[in-house]
Structure 1
Amino acid sequence: MTDKENLTFEEAMEKLEEVVEALEEGDVPLEEAIEKYKEGMELAKICHQKLTNVEEQLTEILKENGETESFSINEVD
């Protein structure tokens, strides 16, 4: 596991925001911009994985008798 994978969701999002801000400023040399882009993609992947993990945990609810029951959230467009 890399150090980035040990970040909390909030820490990863904060670092991702810093990368995006640096790239939006446009004062970054091309080689550094490419490295920042790669870092940003890695951070975005970590955030997505953490959200997916939480979503999987939330797909089961505990009934009064202690059993779990699957449920889904229907998103309305």
Structure 2
Amino acid sequence: MDEKKLDYETAYRAVHGDHDAQMKVLAYYDSYINALSTVEEVDGDGNMRRYIDEDLKAAIQAGYLEALPKCRVMQ
């Protein structure tokens, strides 16, 4: 996650549907979402391959955006 904290105004606007604020929230959590969507596979030669599953990442982001309006933002 970004070292900078997410400010109240951005969080409030994101919860209330502001697209730009929602994109800032997703950017703030991007490294965490990347970690959640990282997949490890072993190929036929036994080599471990690690990559971000973009479909899984998109599903996590969509779920987060869907849940945002249900959040209460406290100052």
Structure with greater helix share of residues:
1
Same fold (TM over 0.5): no
Q: TM-score, normalised by structure 2?
A: 0.30
**Structure ranking higher on relative contact order (CA contacts 8 Å, 6+ apart):** 2
From the CA coordinates, give the structure whose radius of gyration is larger: 1
Structure with greater strand share of residues:
2
Q: TM-score, normalised by structure 1?
A: 0.29
